[in-house]
């Protein structure tokens, strides 16, 4: 019996270690920090070049778009701090003034370059089924 327990224990340990290490290494590549606009805007240098998701609200009237292109430029804010953001692609149905958005991308000195955008419904849907352009 104890022999069997030892075998099972050893197998579990080895498997757990292997998967743990694998998880840890793969996590490193795909981790993104999840921050609110004010946290990022407070110390932009610290966040430059890191994979980042930024959560904030679109500043009313700030959405601009290039003619003939799907290139957007807008400001997002939270608690009075704002951040300039750029996004190219199809925006979700709910992307508009005051919309709550989560942008994925990287911070540069000119602003936040978003590669993905998720917009929540501006008001309180208990469940607003996903409005997303991701992936």
Stretch that binds another protein, among 40-48, 52-60, 106-114 (CB under 8 A): 52-60
Among 30, 43, 45, 110, binds another protein (CB under 8 A): 30
Strand 111-120 and strand 64-65: the pairing is unpaired
Stretch that binds another protein, among 41-49, 50-58, 106-114 (CB under 8 A): 50-58
Burial class (CB in 10 A: 0-12, 13-18, 19+), 8: exposed
Stretch that binds another protein, among 27-35, 40-48, 106-114 (CB under 8 A): 27-35
Which two structure tokens, joined as six digits, stand for 125?
Answer: 């849907």
Among 59, 76, 94, 112, binds another protein (CB under 8 A): 94
Distance CA 103, CA 105 (A): 7
Cβ distance to another protein smaller for residue 45 or 126: 126
Distance CA 80, CA 62 (A): 15
Count how many Cα atoms sit within 13 Å of the Cα of residue 42 in the half-sphere of its side chain. Answer: 7
Which two structure tokens, joined as six digits, stand for 33?
Answer: 């920090």
Interacting residues toward another protein by CB under 8 A: 4, 19, 23, 26-27, 29-35, 53, 55, 57, 68-70, 89-91, 93-94, 96, 98, 102, 104, 118, 120-135
């Amino acid at each position: 019996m104890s022999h069997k327990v030892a075998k099972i224990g050893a197998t579990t340990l080895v498997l757990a270690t292997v998967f743990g290490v694998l998880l840890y290494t793969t996590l490193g590549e795909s981790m993104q920090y999840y921050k609110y606009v004010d946290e990022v805007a407070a110390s932009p240098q610290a966040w430059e070049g890191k994979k980042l998701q930024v959560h904030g609200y679109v500043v009313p009237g700030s959405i601009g778009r290039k003619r003939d292109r799907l290139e957007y430029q807008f400001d997002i804010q939270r608690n009075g701090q704002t951040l300039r953001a750029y996004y190219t692609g199809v925006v979700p149905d709910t992307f508009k003034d005051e919309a709550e958005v989560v942008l994925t991308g990287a911070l540069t000195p000119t602003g936040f370059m978003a590669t993905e955008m998720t917009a929540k419904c501006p008001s309180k849907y208990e469940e607003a089924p996903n409005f997303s352009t991701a992936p």
